[in-house]
Amino acid sequence: DSGVTQTPKHLITATGQRVTLRCSPRSGDLSVYWYQQSLDQGLQFLIQYYNGEERAKGNILERFSAQQFPDLHSELNLSSLELGDSALYFCASSQSTGARMGGYTFGSGTRLTVV
Amino acid sequence: GQQVMQIPQYQHVQEGEDFTTYCNSSTTLSNIQWYKQRPGGHPVFLIQLVKSGEVKKQKRLTFQFGEAKKNSSLHITATQTTDVGTYFCAGPNYGGSQGNLIFGKGTKLSVKP
Protein backbone atom coordinates (compact mmCIF):
# COMPACT_ATOMS: atom_id res chain seq x y z
CA ASP A 1 0.00 0.00 0.00
CA SER A 2 1.63 3.22 -1.22
CA GLY A 3 -0.59 5.46 0.89
CA VAL A 4 -2.32 6.96 -2.16
CA THR A 5 -5.79 5.48 -2.61
CA GLN A 6 -7.55 5.42 -5.94
CA THR A 7 -11.07 4.20 -6.60
CA PRO A 8 -12.42 2.42 -8.45
CA LYS A 9 -9.69 0.06 -9.62
CA HIS A 10 -11.57 -0.89 -12.76
CA LEU A 11 -14.30 0.88 -14.69
CA ILE A 12 -16.10 -0.24 -17.83
CA THR A 13 -18.47 2.20 -19.43
CA ALA A 14 -20.02 3.05 -22.76
CA THR A 15 -19.10 5.81 -25.17
CA GLY A 16 -20.76 9.12 -24.39
CA GLN A 17 -20.95 8.43 -20.68
CA ARG A 18 -19.40 10.33 -17.77
CA VAL A 19 -17.29 8.86 -14.98
CA THR A 20 -15.58 10.14 -11.84
CA LEU A 21 -12.26 8.85 -10.60
CA ARG A 22 -11.32 9.46 -7.01
CA CYS A 23 -7.97 9.88 -5.30
CA SER A 24 -6.94 10.30 -1.67
CA PRO A 25 -3.35 11.47 -1.36
CA ARG A 26 -0.81 10.15 1.12
CA SER A 27 -1.24 11.65 4.56
CA GLY A 28 0.56 14.99 4.74
CA ASP A 29 0.92 15.44 0.99
CA LEU A 30 -0.55 18.67 -0.34
CA SER A 31 0.07 18.18 -4.07
CA VAL A 32 -2.01 15.88 -6.23
CA TYR A 33 -1.26 15.06 -9.84
CA TRP A 34 -3.27 13.15 -12.44
CA TYR A 35 -1.59 11.20 -15.22
CA GLN A 36 -2.94 9.14 -18.09
CA GLN A 37 -1.08 6.04 -19.24
CA SER A 38 -2.09 4.57 -22.57
CA LEU A 39 -0.49 1.52 -24.14
CA ASP A 40 3.09 2.39 -25.10
CA GLN A 41 2.42 6.07 -24.49
CA GLY A 42 4.13 6.56 -21.19
CA LEU A 43 2.71 8.82 -18.53
CA GLN A 44 0.94 11.92 -19.82
CA PHE A 45 0.48 14.75 -17.32
CA LEU A 46 -3.11 15.93 -17.06
CA ILE A 47 -3.45 18.33 -14.15
CA GLN A 48 -1.94 19.31 -10.80
CA TYR A 49 -3.46 20.66 -7.60
CA TYR A 50 -1.74 22.08 -4.57
CA ASN A 51 -3.61 22.57 -1.32
CA GLY A 52 -6.94 22.91 -3.09
CA GLU A 53 -5.85 25.14 -5.94
CA GLU A 54 -5.13 24.24 -9.54
CA ARG A 55 -1.41 24.69 -10.21
CA ALA A 56 -0.79 23.46 -13.71
CA LYS A 57 -2.54 21.89 -16.66
CA GLY A 58 -1.03 19.50 -19.12
CA ASN A 59 -2.58 17.74 -22.06
CA ILE A 60 -6.03 17.58 -20.50
CA LEU A 61 -8.99 17.52 -22.84
CA GLU A 62 -11.84 20.00 -22.41
CA ARG A 63 -14.11 17.01 -21.74
CA PHE A 64 -12.05 16.29 -18.64
CA SER A 65 -12.08 18.28 -15.44
CA ALA A 66 -10.78 17.86 -11.93
CA GLN A 67 -10.90 19.40 -8.50
CA GLN A 68 -9.26 19.06 -5.11
CA PHE A 69 -11.44 19.31 -2.06
CA PRO A 70 -10.68 20.85 1.37
CA ASP A 71 -9.79 17.42 2.76
CA LEU A 72 -7.24 17.22 -0.11
CA HIS A 73 -8.84 14.33 -1.92
CA SER A 74 -9.21 14.87 -5.64
CA GLU A 75 -11.63 13.79 -8.33
CA LEU A 76 -11.08 13.53 -12.06
CA ASN A 77 -14.24 13.80 -14.13
CA LEU A 78 -14.25 12.39 -17.64
CA SER A 79 -17.29 13.14 -19.82
CA SER A 80 -18.53 12.36 -23.33
CA LEU A 81 -16.24 9.37 -23.23
CA GLU A 82 -14.67 8.07 -26.42
CA LEU A 83 -13.00 4.75 -27.17
CA GLY A 84 -9.63 6.52 -27.17
CA ASP A 85 -10.08 7.52 -23.54
CA SER A 86 -9.52 3.92 -22.50
CA ALA A 87 -6.36 3.99 -20.40
CA LEU A 88 -4.87 3.70 -16.95
CA TYR A 89 -5.38 6.85 -14.92
CA PHE A 90 -2.91 7.40 -12.11
CA CYS A 91 -3.07 9.79 -9.26
CA ALA A 92 0.14 10.74 -7.49
CA SER A 93 0.92 12.94 -4.53
CA SER A 94 3.91 14.74 -3.08
CA GLN A 95 4.56 16.75 0.05
CA SER A 96 5.28 20.02 -1.67
CA THR A 97 5.81 21.42 -5.10
CA GLY A 98 8.51 23.14 -7.08
CA ALA A 99 12.18 22.56 -6.36
CA ARG A 100 11.53 20.80 -3.04
CA MET A 101 8.98 18.43 -4.50
CA GLY A 102 10.83 15.17 -4.07
CA GLY A 103 9.47 11.97 -5.52
CA TYR A 104 5.86 11.21 -6.29
CA THR A 105 3.90 8.50 -4.55
CA PHE A 106 1.57 6.89 -7.05
CA GLY A 107 -1.72 5.19 -6.41
CA SER A 108 -2.49 1.82 -7.95
CA GLY A 109 -4.49 3.47 -10.73
CA THR A 110 -7.94 3.19 -12.27
CA ARG A 111 -8.19 1.16 -15.44
CA LEU A 112 -10.88 2.72 -17.62
CA THR A 113 -12.33 0.77 -20.51
CA VAL A 114 -14.73 2.55 -22.84
CA VAL A 115 -16.80 0.21 -25.00
CA GLY B 1 7.58 22.00 -25.89
CA GLN B 2 9.80 20.35 -23.32
CA GLN B 3 10.55 16.73 -24.05
CA VAL B 4 12.16 13.88 -22.17
CA MET B 5 13.33 11.00 -24.32
CA GLN B 6 14.47 7.54 -23.32
CA ILE B 7 16.32 4.84 -25.19
CA PRO B 8 16.04 2.02 -25.78
CA GLN B 9 12.29 1.48 -25.74
CA TYR B 10 12.74 -2.24 -25.05
CA GLN B 11 15.64 -4.31 -23.77
CA HIS B 12 15.77 -8.06 -23.46
CA VAL B 13 18.65 -9.50 -21.46
CA GLN B 14 19.79 -12.81 -20.10
CA GLU B 15 19.81 -13.00 -16.34
CA GLY B 16 23.22 -11.90 -15.11
CA GLU B 17 23.82 -9.46 -17.97
CA ASP B 18 24.07 -5.74 -17.40
CA PHE B 19 21.44 -3.23 -18.52
CA THR B 20 21.56 0.49 -19.20
CA THR B 21 18.82 2.96 -20.10
CA TYR B 22 19.48 6.52 -21.21
CA CYS B 23 17.43 9.62 -20.72
CA ASN B 24 17.77 12.93 -22.57
CA SER B 25 15.96 16.19 -21.97
CA SER B 26 15.41 18.99 -24.46
CA THR B 27 16.04 21.49 -21.65
CA THR B 28 18.36 21.75 -18.67
CA LEU B 29 16.81 20.13 -15.62
CA SER B 30 17.00 21.22 -12.00
CA ASN B 31 16.77 17.55 -11.06
CA ILE B 32 15.90 14.21 -12.56
CA GLN B 33 13.96 11.35 -11.04
CA TRP B 34 13.77 7.65 -11.84
CA TYR B 35 10.79 5.36 -11.36
CA LYS B 36 10.17 1.66 -11.82
CA GLN B 37 6.83 0.18 -12.84
CA ARG B 38 6.43 -3.57 -12.50
CA PRO B 39 4.06 -5.30 -14.94
CA GLY B 40 0.50 -4.58 -13.83
CA GLY B 41 1.72 -2.19 -11.16
CA HIS B 42 2.15 1.49 -10.58
CA PRO B 43 5.30 3.60 -10.87
CA VAL B 44 7.48 3.56 -7.78
CA PHE B 45 9.96 6.31 -7.03
CA LEU B 46 13.58 5.10 -7.05
CA ILE B 47 15.79 8.16 -6.74
CA GLN B 48 16.27 11.86 -7.40
CA LEU B 49 19.50 13.38 -8.70
CA VAL B 50 20.12 17.08 -8.26
CA LYS B 51 23.77 17.95 -8.80
CA SER B 52 25.65 18.15 -12.08
CA GLY B 53 27.68 14.96 -12.59
CA GLU B 54 26.05 13.29 -9.59
CA VAL B 55 26.34 9.51 -9.29
CA LYS B 56 24.25 7.52 -6.83
CA LYS B 57 24.16 3.80 -6.18
CA GLN B 58 21.43 1.57 -4.82
CA LYS B 59 22.81 -1.97 -4.55
CA ARG B 60 23.13 -3.11 -8.19
CA LEU B 61 21.62 0.11 -9.61
CA THR B 62 23.81 3.07 -10.55
CA PHE B 63 22.24 6.40 -11.47
CA GLN B 64 24.10 9.23 -13.15
CA PHE B 65 23.17 12.84 -13.91
CA GLY B 66 25.07 14.47 -16.75
CA GLU B 67 27.39 17.42 -16.36
CA ALA B 68 25.09 19.63 -18.41
CA LYS B 69 22.05 18.39 -16.45
CA LYS B 70 20.28 17.40 -19.66
CA ASN B 71 20.88 13.67 -19.60
CA SER B 72 20.90 10.79 -17.19
CA SER B 73 21.42 7.06 -17.14
CA LEU B 74 20.44 4.05 -15.08
CA HIS B 75 22.72 1.04 -15.09
CA ILE B 76 21.84 -2.29 -13.55
CA THR B 77 24.67 -4.73 -12.92
CA ALA B 78 24.01 -8.46 -13.18
CA THR B 79 20.27 -8.28 -13.80
CA GLN B 80 17.89 -10.54 -11.93
CA THR B 81 14.33 -11.56 -12.78
CA THR B 82 13.15 -9.20 -10.07
CA ASP B 83 14.45 -6.28 -12.18
CA VAL B 84 11.73 -6.87 -14.79
CA GLY B 85 9.60 -3.81 -15.42
CA THR B 86 9.56 -0.44 -17.11
CA TYR B 87 12.01 2.21 -15.98
CA PHE B 88 10.99 5.85 -16.40
CA CYS B 89 13.01 8.99 -16.03
CA ALA B 90 11.21 12.25 -15.28
CA GLY B 91 12.15 15.89 -15.16
CA PRO B 92 10.38 18.95 -13.76
CA ASN B 93 8.01 20.70 -16.13
CA TYR B 94 7.81 24.48 -16.42
CA GLY B 95 11.42 24.75 -15.35
CA GLY B 96 10.49 23.23 -12.03
CA SER B 97 8.40 26.17 -10.88
CA GLN B 98 5.20 24.17 -10.67
CA GLY B 99 6.45 20.84 -9.51
CA ASN B 100 4.83 18.53 -11.99
CA LEU B 101 6.98 16.07 -13.89
CA ILE B 102 7.41 15.19 -17.54
CA PHE B 103 8.07 11.48 -17.94
CA GLY B 104 10.01 9.75 -20.64
CA LYS B 105 8.21 6.90 -22.41
CA GLY B 106 10.24 4.39 -20.45
CA THR B 107 12.48 1.44 -21.16
CA LYS B 108 10.79 -1.92 -20.77
CA LEU B 109 13.22 -4.50 -19.41
CA SER B 110 12.64 -8.20 -19.73
CA VAL B 111 15.02 -10.71 -18.15
CA LYS B 112 15.33 -14.28 -19.35
CA PRO B 113 16.23 -16.69 -16.57
**B94 in helix, strand or coil?**
helix
pLDDT digits (tens, 9 = 90+) for B47-79: 999 999 999 999 999 999 999 999 999 999 999
Q: Note whether B83 and B37 are within 8 A (CB).
A: no
- Residues of B near A (Cβ–Cβ under 8 Å) read 30-31, 33, 35, 41-45, 47-48, 88, 90, 92-94, 96-106
From the DSSP assignment, how many helices (H) and strands (E) are in chain B?
0, 11
Asked if A103 and B45 come within 8 Å (Cβ–Cβ), the reply is: yes
Rg over alpha carbons for chain A, rounded to the nearest Å, is 13
Q: Which residues of A touch B96 (CB under 8 A)?
A: 98-99
Comparing A62-71, A98-107, B89-98, which segment has the lowest mean pLDDT? B89-98
Asked if A98 and B104 come within 8 Å (Cβ–Cβ), the reply is: no
Residues of chain B above pLDDT 70, percent: 96
The band of A49, judged by pLDDT with boundaries at 50, 70 and 90, is: very high
Q: Which chain A residue has the Cα nearest residue B87?
A: A42
Which residue, B108, B113, B25, B6, is CA-closest to B66? B25
